[in-house]
Chains A and B, each alone.
Chain A
Amino acid sequence: MNQDRAWAATRKGLFELRRRSGAWQIERLSFTADPVTMLLPPDASGHMLAGLNLGHFGAKLHASDDAGQTWREVAAPAFPPQPGGAEGPAWKLDQVFALERSGDAIWCGTVPGGLFVSRDRGESWALDETLWRDPRREQWMGGGNPAPALHSICPHPDKADELLIGVSCGGAWRTTDGGKTWGLRATGMRADFMPPELAGDENSQDPHLIARCRAAPDVLWCQHHCGIFRSTDNGATWVELQAQPSSFGFAVAAHPGDPQTAWFVPAVKDMQRIPVDASLCVTRTRDGGQTFEALRTGLPQQHCYDLVFRHGLAVDDGGEQLLMGSTTGGLWASTDGGDSWQTVSAHLPPIYAVKFG
């Protein structure tokens, strides 16, 4: 990962950021004025992807072979013909919502909740038919979006064929064979928006985002609609944690080297979705979720109504640099694990995703 380069996917284009002399600066804007919903940062060769949502004209995918200097449109993931009477949302791509590499494959999560794989660096895509045809998939619900959203793809750093995914609202699922078979992986999560008898139903959970610790891949963190959850057994079971000033939010970043450390961005649950007391903070645990600190230095503390979407918080490979982007175009950076923050910009377009690399 390039520690001095980062990306912000926004409502009005893709911003490339560079850290020069210790300060992040905007280097380039690609896709000016077009919504970019997700990106895959460059690999060592400079290959990267960007998912666009052109509104009237649909969701598109673009590839670059020179780390974002030039772009070309490539085939977007597409759903097969929808059988008559099929339940659930229309089989039509609405958004590219997650992009991750695992081994030689690139995986793409979408709205509606489809998972696609490319084995030719994003030039063509195949729907994971096993997951899509699973009858439990038809029970998934929208959460924020009218249709279910497959937003989290957590590759296993040591096993290219193993992924854990998260769906709003469809719980967490794992494959260990490259998508040939899938199993639910959400025991212990709790959905208080369901009837009481279904609160523990794994297939009804609303994980907002799931993040894995790279050095200890059995450790997963989940910012859920109903709180914060952590697993230490690769998603087999989840334990609820309590954070102050709120356990509600959308984003989570897992420390890549320390399984005890993760960051969250709290908000008022759940119809208001603004910072608690209109005062922005990041919460951090360094003891596996037993305690949380509210980190506020450098963040707006009065009349702040910025919300951080689920892909709006990122940590670099070293675990010290963080980036955070908001719905109202605030972009902040930290070089000390969140202890303090510097404003990169206060007036970017609404930010959908930030990534290092």
Chain B
Amino acid sequence: MAVLEFTPQLRRFVDTPVVDTAATVLRDGLDAAFAINPRLRGYILDDQGHLRANVVIFIDGRRVRDLRGLTDPLGPDSRVHVLQALSGG
């Protein structure tokens, strides 16, 4: 199972579950988290379902490439970190 974790910075605003998921692509993994807390979606994705411009996701230490479709693959043991992009220092 892949594991998704969200930046603790988000806890000021919204509950952030740690999610074990059998999803094989990132968007399905995120949807599993949003199913637990629907309000989380708007903090990670924008109106068009794209990754917010100042949010960054790493899968197994690699930065996600498909910022709109979120089709990057997840392996059965993947570790996914959803973080703030450090724009502006």
Interface residues of A (CB under 8 A from B): 54-58, 60, 73, 76, 78-79, 81-82, 90-93
Contact = CB atoms under 8 A, between A and B. Distances in A.
A56 B84 CA distance: 7
Nearest to B44: A57
A154 B13 CA distance: 32
A312 to B, nearest CB: 24
Given A54-B13, A54-B43, A56-B52, 19 more contacts: A56-B54, A56-B55, A56-B87, A57-B10, A57-B43, A57-B44, A57-B52, A57-B55, A58-B52, A60-B13, A60-B42, A73-B39, A79-B47, A81-B48, A90-B48, A91-B48, A92-B47, A93-B46, A93-B47
A92 B10 contact: no
10 contacts: A56-B9, A57-B10, A57-B13, A57-B44, A58-B42, A58-B43, A58-B46, A73-B14, A92-B50, A93-B46
B13 A82 contact: no
Contacts of A56: 9, 52, 54-55, 84-85, 87
Nearest to B83: A56
Main SS of the interface on chain B?
loop
Nearest to A54: B13
Contact of A91 (B47, B52, B55, B87): B47
Output the residue of A58, A60, A79 with the most chain B CB within 10 A: A58
A90 B50 CA distance: 11
For chain B, give the interface size range. Answer: 10 to 19
Main SS of the interface on chain A?
loop
B48 A92 contact: yes
Contacts of B43: 54, 57-58
Interface of B: 9-10, 13-14, 39, 42-44, 46-48, 50, 52, 54-55, 84-85, 87
Contacts of B13: 54, 57, 60, 73
A82 B47 CA distance: 9
A93 B52 CA distance: 11
Contacts of B44: 57
B47 A55 contact: no
A81 B50 CA distance: 11
Contacts of A60: 13, 42
Given A56-B84, A57-B43, A60-B42, A82 B54 contact: no
Nearest to B85: A56
A55 B12 CA distance: 14
Query: What are the 6 A-B residue pairs with the smallest beta carbon separation, nearest first?
Result: A56-B54, A57-B43, A79-B47, A92-B47, A92-B46, A78-B47
A56 B85 CA distance: 8
Contacts of A58: 42-43, 46, 52
A93 B39 CA distance: 16
